[in-house]
Amino acid sequence: MTPLKTARAAWRRLEPVHGMIYFAPEARRRYAELGLGGRAGYFASRSAAFGRASAELVIATFYNFNPDLVRKAVHGVWDATTPQQVLDARYAGASEALRRAGIHELPAFDEVLALTRRAAEAAREYAQGRPLFAAHAALPWPDEPVLQLWHAQTLLREFRGDGHVACLLTEGVGGLEALILHAATAEVPVDFLKASRAWPEDEWVATKERLRTRGLLDGDSLSPEGARLRRHIEDRTDHLALPAYAALGDTDCERLAELAGPFGRAVVEAGLLKVG
């Protein structure tokens, strides 16, 4: 594989270790104990690294959620709890969930942790223009090895995500437009994207029509031009994420990509990515 493909493979195979935090019941229960039900737990927990983040900051950095949903979910959050309490709850939920998946018992755990942390630390040299990454990178490293791996992968996820948002902005693709183009690939069920991002149906329909007018959609599918644009954005996102993994060198990056698969599978097999 090329360095770009190897780095992408390393990220994708290990990404469930981070991504499970948005679905794991352990995390939702911890947020509920703080009085954060429904969507409030998601928005507060991911933005708590900013401090008392406003709805407008969340809208700007999370990018593709309906702003009305964010304002409703975030309203009153920081009157009920504090950012540090939410961060503590997030880490506690992550630890409990990943231990249930048994990732700490996998034979390559120490090596995967060392490589992932090296990549995450290297990413800190490229924090400019990456607000979500920078906020999380400023947090102290946890003491528990399982949480060190989760935190490292969280940094790499937000590093990549901030770069992806930059690519979307550069190409003139708004948040709802990005969702619809994603839905057109059939990689994620459209009903999930609609329910989780909560855009009104009339705005979804009108935006889809604008994308057809731009020549990016053919019916409900990507047009050839739409496919080229999406591929360009994904390739550019890979390129912007590369500095973190390039710090490992080709051999160690390939090693991380090789070792990461069982970690992602353990999370999936434990049911930590199930919706609801």
DSSP string, 183-211: HTTTSS-HHHHHHHH---HHHHHHHHHHH
What single-letter DSSP state applies at residue 54? -
Q: Does residue 274 sit within a domain?
A: no
Q: What is the pLDDT of residues 187-231, one digit of tens each?
A: 989 999 999 999 999 999 999 999 999 999 999 999 999 999 999
Q: Does residue 111 sit within a domain?
A: yes
Q: What is the pLDDT of residues 257-269, one digit of tens each?
A: 999 999 999 999 9
Helices (H), 36-144: 39-47, 55-62, 67-74, 77-80, 83-101, 109-123, 131-137
| Integer Cα distance of 10 and 236 in angstroms | 17
| Integer Cα distance of 150 and 17 in angstroms | 6
Q: Does residue 275 sit within a domain?
A: no
Q: Does residue 31 sit within a domain?
A: yes
Residue 152 has pLDDT above 90, yes or no: yes
Residue 7 has pLDDT above 90, yes or no: yes
What lies within 8 Å, CB to CB, of 111 at 6+ separation is: 255, 259
Number of structural domains (the chain) is 1
| Integer Cα distance of 97 and 79 in angstroms | 28
pTM: 0.95
Q: Could you tell me the CA-to-CA distances from 191 to 177, 180, 202, 233 in Å, in that order?
A: 15, 11, 15, 23
- pLDDT value of position 34: 97
* Own/partner pairs, 112-116, CB within 8 angstroms, 24+ separation: 112/14, 112/149, 112/256, 112/259, 112/260, 112/263, 113/145, 113/148, 113/149, 113/152, 115/248, 115/252, 115/255, 115/256, 115/259, 116/14, 116/149, 116/152, 116/153, 116/156, 116/256
Residue 1 has pLDDT above 70, yes or no: no
Q: Does residue 58 sit within a domain?
A: yes
Domain residues for 67?
Answer: 3-269
Q: Does residue 209 sit within a domain?
A: yes
Q: Does residue 276 sit within a domain?
A: no
Q: Does residue 133 sit within a domain?
A: yes
